[in-house]
Structure 1
Amino acid sequence: MVYVIFKARNEFRNSRKNLLIFFFRLLSIIAFILTWSYFIFLCLLHFKTNNNSLQNLSKQQQQQQPCRIQSPQSINIDYNDIYWQRFQSSNGTFFFYNAFYDDRTLNGELSTIRILSMIDRISPIKIYCRIWFSNSSNSIITLADYHYIWSQQWGNYEDKILQPFLINCPFPRQKHLQPYFVSLFEKNCTEITNNLQIINNRPLNKNKQSFAVCVKGLEFLHDDLSIRLIEWIELLNILGVKKIFFYEFDIHPNMSKVLQYYQNETKLVHVQKLSLPGSQPNFPLERKKYLQQKIIHRRQNEIIPYNDCYYKNIYLYDYIVLLDIDEIIIPLQHLNWLDMIYDLEKYFANINQSYDALSARHIYFLDDLDENNNTIQSNLSIVPSYLHMLTHIYRSSNYTKTGSYVKSFFHTERILAVHNHYPLICFSKCQTREMNVTLAHLQHYRKDCVYLLQKSCQNDHRLNRIRDTNIWRFKNSLIQRTSLLSRKLNFLL
C-alpha cells in the first residue's frame, strides 16, 4: 500500500516536471519564432526603405540631369504669313522676322544675336535664347533683353497691338565657332517651335563699300510708276549708290519688270518680298486699305524692314540711307555722295566731333509749282517730259523745320536701331549732325504736302517758290540711261 502511494507521488512529480519542460520548450520555440520574425521584419523594412530611397535618388538625379535638347526641325516651326515665326508665351505672342550676328567693335567683349520682332505687349516677359553653332552640336543659353524700337508719344502704346522690338542675346565671343541658329523660349525643357538662321553677311575681300539705299515695302498695286522708278534708280547710281534694297508687298507688273531687270541683269537691286505678321491682312486689296487707314500701325510695321535692311548690311557698307522712291538727297557742292561725305568726315574729325548719322533737310518739289512740265529747254538739250525729277525744277522756298522729315546717312558701326528719319538707339547717346542746306538737301517730289502739313502747305510751301536746277548737273547721263532702259523694256517706242 505504501509502495503504491509512493509510486503514485513519483509519477505525479515526473508528470509535472515533464509538463514544465514541455512549456519551457514551447516558450523557447515561440521566442525563437518571434525573434526571427522580428529580425525578418526589420530586414524587410530596411530593404523597402533603402529601395524607396534609391528610387527617390534616381528620380532626383533624373530631374537634375539636363534635358536632351535638339535643334527644332523645320516641320515643327510655327510659321506665320510665310516670312515670320510665331512664339506663344504665357503672356503675349511674339513674331520673329530675322536674326543677325553683331560683333561690331562697340559691342565690347560680348557678341550679340539681334532678333527683329513684333510683340503684342509693351513690356514683354523674360525669355531665353538658345544659340546653336554651325560646326558643333553644342548650344548655349543666355537671357534675352529688349530694345523697344518705337516711342510712346507716337501712339499705339498699348498691349494687344503689335509693337516693334529688337531682342538681344549677348554671349561671349567664340573664336572658332560661328553662331548658326537661335531659338527663343520661356521655360527650359519645353518644345521649341522657332528657329531663326542667323544672318552674318560679310564681304569676301573684307572691305566695305560706300552706300546702300533701303526702300520700305512697296505698295503700288495699280499705279504704274515704272519710268519714274528707272529715273530714280539711275540717279542714285550716278550719285554713287552701290546697291538698292527693295521690300515689296504688291506692285504694278511694269514696276516689277523694272526691278527684276536690275536684280538679274545689273545686280544693282535686290528685292525682298514682305508680309504683315499676326492677324493683319495680307490679301492685296485689304492690306492696301489697312495700311492707308491705320497710319500708326503702318509706321510700326515699317520699322521692321528698315532695320532688317540695316542689319543685313552693317558689314558690307559704310552708310545706309532709307529713302522712298519720290525723294532723293542731292549734293549741292559735289557731284556724288562719296566726295560730299568724305569732306564731312574730315570736317568733323578736325573739330573732334563724332556722329552716328548725317541728316539732310527736307524741301518740297510739288507737282503744281512748275510753269510747264512738258519740255524744258536748257543748254540746247531737251529734257523729255516723261522724266519726272528732271522736269520738276521749282521748289518751295521754305524748308520744313529742322529735324522734320529729314533723311539720314546712317553710320553702320555706331547704331543699334534706325527710324525712317534718324537713329533711334545707338551704342551711346545718338548724335545726328545736320548737313548745311548749302551742302545738300532732300528733294521730295509730291502732288501735295503730307497730311500733317496740309493746313500750312499753301502758305509755307506753295506761295513762295524757287527755280532749282541743281539736278540738271546729272541730266545728260540720266536722260541717256533712263531713256535707253525704258525703250529696252518697251515702255517707250
Structure 2
Amino acid sequence: MDKSTFKKFIALSCTITIIFTLILAYTSDFSLSKYMIPFYNVPKMADALNSITPIKDSEHFMVSAFIDHRLDGVIRVISIIKRNNLQPLYCVYCNTENDCKTVQADVQIHSDNFGFPFHVSDVICKGKHMENSTHVLISTKDSDNNNTEYLPIKNRVSTNTFKFDFTICISSLFGKYNNVLQFAQTMEMYKLLGVQHVVIYNTSCGPDLEKLLKHYETEGILEIVSWPIDKFLNPSPGWNFQEHKGDIHYYGQLVTLNECIYRHMYQSRYVLLNDIDEIIMPYKHTNLLSLMKDLQSAHPSVGVFRIENHIFPKTQFEDSGKFKRAEWNNIPGVNIMEHIYREPDRKYVYNPAKMIVNPRKVQQTSVHSTLKEFGGSYNVPFDVCRIVHVRDPLQGHLTKDQLFVDKRLWDFEQELIPNVNQTLIFSGLLRPWS
C-alpha cells in the first residue's frame, strides 16, 4: 500500500469509527459516559440565572455560597428554609479535581421571620481545607449525591481593594412596577452622589421600566439578578404574615438583602440597603464619599450606619410648578422634584431606618437593622444625613402648612434634569427635542 492510499485508509477508518460511535450513543443500551475518563464526570452546576435552587428531597432552597474568611474559612450558603420542617442537612463540598467531602451542616435560621413559614437562613459548612473548594451543595443525605446541582463558591479570596466605593442593593422588584420617572431621577441622583453600582433582584416589572433597566444595564451601573421567587413559593406582598399571608416575607426581601451583602463583600467598600423609592441624602456633604469619610473617621470601629427615614408625600405639590416639565408629561411615575414638603418626625412612632454598611462587618441583616455584626452600629443624626422618601403620606391628615419645606433635591437640579432627560432619550422613552 503506497503512502497516499494509507492516509486515505486512516481517514476513512476514523470517519467510520465516529459515525458508528454516534449511532450507538443514541441507542438505549449504550452510554458514552461509561467510557469517559473521570475528568469529565464533574458535578452539574446550578443555573446562575435562576438564583434559586431546590434542595433535593426537601422543601428548602439554596441561593448562593460564599467562603466566610471572618469565621475561619467556613462555607456559608444563603438559603431559604421551611422553619417547621427542618431535617438534618449535609454539606457536600468539592475542589476542582472533583474530590468531594461531606459534613453535617449547621442551619442558622434568622430571627426576624415575621411569622412566615419560609425564611432566610445561613447553612454553615465547617470542615478541613474548605478554602480550596470550588462548589458545594446542601443535601438531605450524607452520601449518594449524584445528579444534584451544585453552587459555585464565591468570595474565595479576600481583598482590601474594591471595585466600587458604593453599591445599592434594591431587594425586590415585583408586581409589574412601572414607576419610570422616579426611578430615573433616583438613579441619576445617586450617580451625582457617587454611587457606581446598583443591584436589583427582579421578579417582574412594567414594560417601560424594563426599557430603562436595560439602558442602565448596558451603561454598566446596573446589575440585574433574576429572582423568580414566585416560581417556587407564594411570596407575600407585605411584611406582616397575619395581614398579608403567603409563604415568605415581601417577595424574599430578607434573602436578597443578605445575599447582596455577601455578593459584594469584596467588591464594594460600602453597601446601601434601601428601597427603590428612597434616596439616602447627605445634608452637610456634597456626596456620599465625603459623608462616609467623616462618619468613619469619627466612629472607626462601626460598620453599620443607620439613616432616618423621612416621608415626602406625593400628594403635596410645590406651588410654583417650576419642575412640572412638559417633556415628562407622558413618562409614567412620580416626579420627585415637585414634592418638597416633608412630614414632621414623630418621636413616639418607630422610624424604619435604612442602612449604609461595611459588608465585611455584617453577618446577618434585617431590613432596618442588622442582626449580627462586628463593631456595632451608629444612628446618623438627622441634620447630617436622612432619607428622602417620596411616597404615599403616613400623616395624610396634615395640611401643607403643617409640613416642613425641604428643597435639598433642588441643589442638584442643573445636572440632574439634563441627565434624566438624556437617560429617558437613550432608553427610547422620550423623543429628543430641539
TM-score w.r.t. the length of structure 1 is 0.70
Structure 1 residue 459: deviation in Å?
A: 5.8
Query: Where does residue 196 of structure 2 map in the other structure?
Result: 242
Structure 1 residue 241: deviation in Å?
A: 0.8
8 Å contact kept, 2:183–2:276: yes
Q: Provide the secondary structure at the position in 1 that maps to 2:59.
A: strand
What pairs with 1:25-44 in structure 2 (closer than 5 Å)?
Answer: none
Structure 1 residue 203: deviation in Å?
A: 9.3
Distance 1:81 1:439, change over 3 A: closer
Query: Where does residue 184 of structure 1 map in the other structure?
Result: 138
Query: Where does residue 217 of structure 2 map in the other structure?
Result: 263
Structure 2 residue 280 is matched with structure 1 residue 329: yes
Structure 2 residue 121 is matched with structure 1 residue 121: no
Structure 2 residue 245 is matched with structure 1 residue 274: no
What pairs with 1:256-405 in structure 2 (closer than 5 Å)?
Answer: 256-264=210-218, 266-276=219-229, 279-281=232-234, 293-294=244-245, 297-299=248-250, 301-349=252-300, 354-372=301-319, 374-376=321-323, 388-398=335-345, 404-405=351-352
Let me know the Cα RMSD of the aligned residues: 3.4
Query: Where does residue 164 of structure 1 map in the other structure?
Result: 120
Q: Matches of 1:399 and 1:328 in 2, distance apart?
A: 20
Structure 1 residue 220: deviation in Å?
A: 4.4
Distance 1:206 1:437, change over 3 A: closer
Name which of 55, 73, 91 aligns with 1:87.
Answer: 55
Q: Matches of 1:246 and 1:363 in 2, distance apart?
A: 23
Q: Provide the secondary structure at the position in 2 that maps to 1:480.
A: helix
Query: Where does residue 99 of structure 1 map in the other structure?
Result: 65
The list of structure 1 runs, each at least 4 consecutive aligned residues, that deviate by more than 6 angstroms after superposition, is 201-205, 287-292, 381-387, 460-463
Structure 1 residue 143: deviation in Å?
A: 2.8
Query: Where does residue 196 of structure 1 map in the other structure?
Result: 151
Query: Where does residue 27 of structure 1 map in the other structure?
Result: none
> How many residue pairs end up in the alignment?
385
Query: Where does residue 155 of structure 1 map in the other structure?
Result: 115
Q: Matches of 1:384 and 1:437 in 2, distance apart?
A: 32
Give deviations 1:336-382, integer Å, cap 9, x for gaps.
Answer: 01101100111123xxxx323001111110012334373259xxx99
Structure 1 residue 461: deviation in Å?
A: 9.3
Give the AA of the match of 1:473.
D
Give the AA of the match of 2:257.
Y
Q: Matches of 2:292 and 2:388 in 1, distance apart?
A: 18
Query: Where does residue 440 of structure 1 map in the other structure?
Result: 385
Query: Where does residue 73 of structure 1 map in the other structure?
Result: 44
TM-score w.r.t. the length of structure 2 is 0.78
Distance 1:85 1:365, change over 3 A: same
Structure 1 residue 383: deviation in Å?
A: 11
Query: Where does residue 214 of structure 1 map in the other structure?
Result: 169
Give the AA of the match of 1:181.
H
% identical equivalent positions: 19
Give the AA of the match of 2:98.
S
Deviates more, 1:191-200 or 1:439-448: 191-200
Give deviations 1:63-90, integer Å, cap 9, x for gaps.
Answer: xxxxxxx75436xx7x99944222245x
Q: Provide the secondary structure at the position in 2 that maps to 1:310.
A: helix
8 Å contact kept, 2:184–2:420: yes
Give deviations 1:130-169, integer Å, cap 9, x for gaps.
Answer: 21112x33233333112222426x323xxxx222211111
Q: Matches of 2:428 and 2:56 in 1, distance apart?
A: 50
What residue ranges of structure 2 are gaps of 5+ in the alignment?
1-40
Distance 1:474 1:202, change over 3 A: farther
Q: Matches of 2:200 and 2:165 in 1, distance apart?
A: 18
Q: Matches of 1:171 and 1:460 in 2, distance apart?
A: 59
Q: Matches of 1:487 and 1:81 in 2, distance apart?
A: 29
Give deviations 1:93-116, integer Å, cap 9, x for gaps.
Answer: 22111112222xx32xx2021111
Q: Provide the secondary structure at the position in 2 that maps to 1:413.
A: helix
Distance 1:80 1:479, change over 3 A: closer
Structure 1 residue 281: deviation in Å?
A: 4.6
Q: Matches of 1:208 and 1:80 in 2, distance apart?
A: 22
Q: Matches of 2:399 and 2:290 in 1, distance apart?
A: 31
Q: Matches of 1:123 and 1:275 in 2, distance apart?
A: 23
Q: Matches of 1:241 and 1:203 in 2, distance apart?
A: 22
Structure 1 residue 462: deviation in Å?
A: 7.2
What residue ranges of structure 1 are gaps of 5+ in the alignment?
1-69, 450-456
